[in-house]
Amino acid sequence: MLPVAELDRGFIRPEYPSQVIVSYFQGGRILDYIKDRWGDDKILDMVHSYAQLKTTPEAIQQNLGMSPEEFDKAFMEWLYKDLGKTAASFDEWRNRLKELAEAAKAKNWDEVLAKGDAVRQMYPDYVEGANPYEFLAEAHIAKGDKKAAAEVLTEYEKIGGRSPEALKELASLEQEAGDPKDAAAALERINYIYRMDEELHRKLCDVWFDENNPAADVRECNAVLAMHPLDQASAQFDVARAYFAAGQQDQARDHLLASLEAAPGYRPAQKLLLQLEDSQKGK
């Protein structure tokens, strides 16, 4: 990593292919270190120094009371204390993860369960492809322990896991266990990862309707409609149902008529249209 006074160089003039990523990591951990040692206010003070066009060495000296060189030394000591053990065992972790992946591929679930947690604890922040969390969850499901699978995937979600498939699996497990709000939270997380998932928006549309959250229901049902699904009748009906629950009857009527235009015999739309007419007559 670069000295803090030269960190900008890692972003604008990288000297090796992954230096921009390394510099983002270093910048994030520097903020963690400042927060850990001095508190959030010092980060804000440094932002104010930059607003006054101070250089990084000047901002560090002014707000932290040390030279950039002293900061680098203290920061690296802190970082190695936090991550040194993980870095030192990286080769062992990689070999054991490869063995775990091979056991999962062979559906040797007993071996996955016996070894998976130890591999996970060696590098708990690893949530990229072929991670122990997903292997363990798959093994638990195969062995019929859905509660354990949900617990593993919950940890995966908390640590920053972002596989849409894994988060959908977590949402399904939570919904099956009678935790619709947790299921919705897992699905909402996918919205920040990949928005162009029609199935996801359909699930959220149903979940928010069941949870009586009209605003979120309207948003998600309209998201489905915006993706031009083949089944226009049900998509338009879902939007109408959401608007009706939100008390927006004119919007509900428009979408009900669009649903019936797509499929004149669509019974749910016919039934809701009659209910809408009755409500407007005060019945």
Q: What is the pLDDT of residue 235?
A: 96
Q: What is the pLDDT of residue 85?
A: 87
Tokens found for residue 116: 């998976």
Question: What one-character DSSP code corresponds to residue 149?
Answer: H
Are the beta carbons of 63 and 44 closer than 8 angstroms?
A: no
Q: Please give the domain boundaries of the chain with CATH numbers for all domains.
A: 4-88 (no CATH), 89-194 (1.25.40.10), 210-283 (1.25.40.10)
Q: What is the amino acid identity at position 74?
A: A
Q: What is the amino acid identity at position 188?
A: E
Contacts 24+ apart (CB under 8 A), 172-181: 173/146, 173/149, 174/150, 175/207, 176/146, 177/146, 177/147, 177/150, 180/207, 180/210, 180/211, 181/211
Mean pLDDT score, 163-190: 93
Tell me the pLDDT tens digit for each residue of 83-134.
998 899 999 999 999 999 999 999 999 999 999 999 999 999 999 999 999 9
Q: What is the pTM of this model?
A: 0.74
Tokens found for residue 4: 């803090």
Question: What one-character DSSP code corresponds to residue 108?
Answer: -
Q: What is the pLDDT of residue 278?
A: 87
Quick count: other Cβ atoms within 10 Å of Cβ 6?
Answer: 13
